[in-house]
Structure 1
Amino acid sequence: MKIKSEKAYEDLRNERPQFWNNLSYNNKFDMNTLKLEFEDILDAEKRLKRFAPFFQRVFEDTKKTKGIIESKVFKIEKASREIEKYEKIKIPGKIYLKGDHSLPISGSIKARGGIYEVLCLAEKIALESGMLRLEDDYGKLAEDKFKDLFNKYSVAVGSTGNLGLSIGIMSAVLGFKVTVHMSCDAKEWKKEMLRSKGVIVREYESDFSYAIAQGRKEAQRDPNCHFVDDENSKELFLGYSVSALRLKKQFEDMDILVDQEHPLFVYLPCGVGGGPGGVTFGLKWVFGENVHPIFVEPVQSASMLLGMVTGMYNNISVQDIGLSNRTIADGLAVGRSSEFVGRFVEPIVAGFATFEDNELYDLLKILYDTENIALEPSALSGFKGIKMLLSTQEGKKLLSDINLENKMDKATHLVWATGGRMVPKDVMMADYNKASYKL
Structure 2
Amino acid sequence: MDLVTIDDIREAAERIKGIAVRTPLLRMGESWLKPESLQPVGSFKIRGAYNALAVLRPSGVVTHSSGNHGQALACAAAEFGVPCTVVVPEGTPAVKKAAIEGWGAEVVVVPPDQREVMAERLAAERGLTLVPPYDHRAIIAGQGTIGLEIVEDLPDVEVVLVPVSGGGLASGVAAAVKALRPDVRVYGVEPELAADAAESLAAGRVVTWETSRTFRTIADGLRVNRVSELTFAHLREHLEGIVTVSEDELRGAVRHLARTARLVTEPSGAAATAALLSGRVPAGRTVAVVSGGNVDPELFARIYA
- Taking structure 1 as the reference length, what is the TM-score of the superposition? 0.64
User: Does the 8 Å contact 1:270/1:296 carry over to 2?
Assistant: yes
Per-residue CA shift, 1:257-298, capped at 9, x if unaligned? 24xxxxx11111111111111111111111112x11111111
Per-residue CA shift, 1:8-28, capped at 9, x if unaligned? xxxxxxxxxxxxxxxxxxxxx
Structure 2 residue aligned with 1:419: 292
User: Does the 8 Å contact 1:231/1:339 carry over to 2?
Assistant: no
Cα 1:359–1:246 change in 2 (3 A) is: closer
Per-residue CA shift, 1:119-139, capped at 9, x if unaligned? 2233xx6xxxxxxxxxxxxxx
Counterpart selection for 1:100 from 36, 45, 48: 36
Cα 1:428–1:74 change in 2 (3 A) is: farther
Distance 1:294 1:340 in 2: 18
Structure 2 residue aligned with 1:375: 265
Q: Give yes or no for the alignment of 1:238 onto 2:141.
A: yes
Distance 2:298 2:107 in 1: 26
Distance 1:185 1:343 in 2: 30
Unaligned runs of 5+ in 2: none
Structure 2 residue aligned with 1:117: 52
Structure 1 SS opposite 2:303? coil
Structure 1 residue aligned with 2:252: 362
User: Does the 8 Å contact 1:44/1:238 carry over to 2?
Assistant: yes
Aligned-partner residue type, residue 234 of structure 2? F
Aligned-partner residue type, residue 193 of structure 1? A
Aligned-partner residue type, residue 419 of structure 1? G
User: Does the 8 Å contact 1:179/1:200 carry over to 2?
Assistant: yes
Aligned-partner residue type, residue 107 of structure 2? V
Distance 2:38 2:251 in 1: 19
What does 1:16-415 align with in structure 2 at a 5 Å threshold? Answer: 35-49=3-17, 52=18, 55=19, 69-77=21-29, 94-103=30-39, 105-122=40-57, 153-207=59-113, 210-223=114-127, 225-251=128-154, 257-258=156-157, 264-289=158-183, 291-313=184-206, 316-319=207-210, 323-386=213-276, 390-391=279-280, 408=283, 411-415=284-288
Q: Identity of counterpart residues, as a percentage?
A: 22
User: How far has the Cα of 1:335 moved from its partner?
Assistant: 1.2
Distance 1:35 1:371 in 2: 35
Residue-pair matches, total: 305
User: How far has the Cα of 1:360 moved from its partner?
Assistant: 1.9
User: How far has the Cα of 1:380 moved from its partner?
Assistant: 1.2
Distance 2:14 2:250 in 1: 37
User: How far has the Cα of 1:231 moved from its partner?
Assistant: 4.6
Cα 1:231–1:373 change in 2 (3 A) is: closer
User: How far has the Cα of 1:191 moved from its partner?
Assistant: 0.7
User: How far has the Cα of 1:101 moved from its partner?
Assistant: 0.8
Structure 2 SS opposite 1:179? strand
Cα 1:175–1:34 change in 2 (3 A) is: closer
User: How far has the Cα of 1:241 moved from its partner?
Assistant: 1.2
Cα 1:198–1:241 change in 2 (3 A) is: same
User: How far has the Cα of 1:76 moved from its partner?
Assistant: 1.6
User: Does the 8 Å contact 2:44/2:292 carry over to 1?
Assistant: yes
Unaligned runs of 5+ in 1: 1-32, 56-67, 78-93, 126-152, 259-263, 400-407
User: Does the 8 Å contact 2:147/2:172 carry over to 1?
Assistant: no
User: Does the 8 Å contact 1:238/1:278 carry over to 2?
Assistant: yes
Cα 1:228–1:34 change in 2 (3 A) is: closer
